[in-house]
Amino acid sequence: MMLLHLLLDVGLGAVFGFLGGLFGIGGGIVAIPILGLAFGLSQQTAQGTALVMVVPNVVIGLRRYYQRRSLNVRYALTLAVSAIPFTYAGARVATGLPSAPLRIAFATFTIAIAMYVLWKSFGTSSESSAHAPWYLSSIVGAIGGTLSGFFSVGGATFAVPAMTAFFGLSQAAAQSMGLALVAPGTIVGLATYGAAGDVDWLTGAALAVGGASAVTYGVDLATRLPERTLKVLFAVFLFGAALALLAEH
């Protein structure tokens, strides 16, 4: 039974990894509700366990986006560096909060992001004309880092629409920025959740093995899809993850 359980976790990890590569979020946003609903983990433990999988997914995804020429290194470094201290602060706060309100807050936040992305997708143009100075992306990093620590994956869902709306990046390029933002913060967040005892290491490791095997395929598909199609799929994906979270209440 233990072997069967681990094989199931590896299979789920592959699905999460593919989706994480496709949408530039590391796979954690879909893993968290499933870990809570199907595995019976608290919100904090689901978030901490998801981070075990997200760390290798993010590294592999970033490398693949770079190879596909969809990664702006200057933006990526700015987001990553500015996110680190805020990720730690957010994670410290989250580990001390009740599980149910945290889950509801995460779902509400995700729905708001999905609605914004859909609104932008079906506006007069799917491309943003805004081009804020690159150094202002540090603000996105700070806000995204706080959300990453608080929700373990929230930073990427915020960074993707922010980078398209205010910095003129394409959806695929913005998704690579989402991974860049959470890359160093995932390690900080994982250490914080681990120190608080909110990580199921065996389950997380099995998910990581599956995710690492599939994330590249998701990135490859993301860089081939039309801009609007990718945005709509991203929004639908966020809605589904949020509804799964709310279904527990």
Q: Residues 94-136: pLDDT tens digits?
A: 777 776 787 788 788 888 888 888 887 776 554 445 688 889 9
Give the residue-averaged pLDDT of 241-249: 72
Among candidate residues 203, 156, 219, the one with its CA nearest the CA of residue 183: 156
For residue 32, what are its two tokens?
Answer: 């968290």
Least confident of 23-37, 83-97, 229-243: 23-37
Among candidate residues 157, 165, 156, the one with its CA nearest the CA of residue 127: 165
Which amino acid appears at position 147 of this protein? L
Residue with tokens 């075990």: 52
SS3 63: helix
Give the residue-averaged pLDDT of 65-93: 87
**Model confidence over 27-54: pLDDT tens digits?**
777 788 788 877 888 878 888 898 898 8
Residue with tokens 């909110």: 198
Among candidate residues 94, 64, 60, 59, the one with its CA nearest the CA of residue 80: 59
pLDDT at residue 210 in the model = 94
Given a contact cutoff of 8 angstroms between Cβ atoms, the answer to whether 197 and 183 are in contact is: no
Give the residue-averaged pLDDT of 215-239: 89
CA distance 190 to 49: 8
CA distance 163 to 104: 25
Domains of the chain, residue spans: 2-246
pLDDT at residue 138 in the model = 95
**Model confidence over 157-216: pLDDT tens digits?**
888 889 988 998 888 888 888 888 888 877 887 888 899 899 999 999 999 999 999 999
Does pTM surpass 0.85?
no
Give the residue-averaged pLDDT of 70-93: 87
pLDDT at residue 26 in the model = 66
DSSP 97: S
Helix axes 2-23, 227-246, angle to 10 degrees: 140
Which amino acid appears at position 26 of this protein? G
CA distance 138 to 144: 10
pLDDT at residue 154 in the model = 67
CA distance 155 to 2: 34
CA distance 43 to 115: 24
For residue 243, what are its two tokens?
Answer: 């509804």
Helix axes 73-94, 137-151, angle to 10 degrees: 30
pLDDT at residue 126 in the model = 46
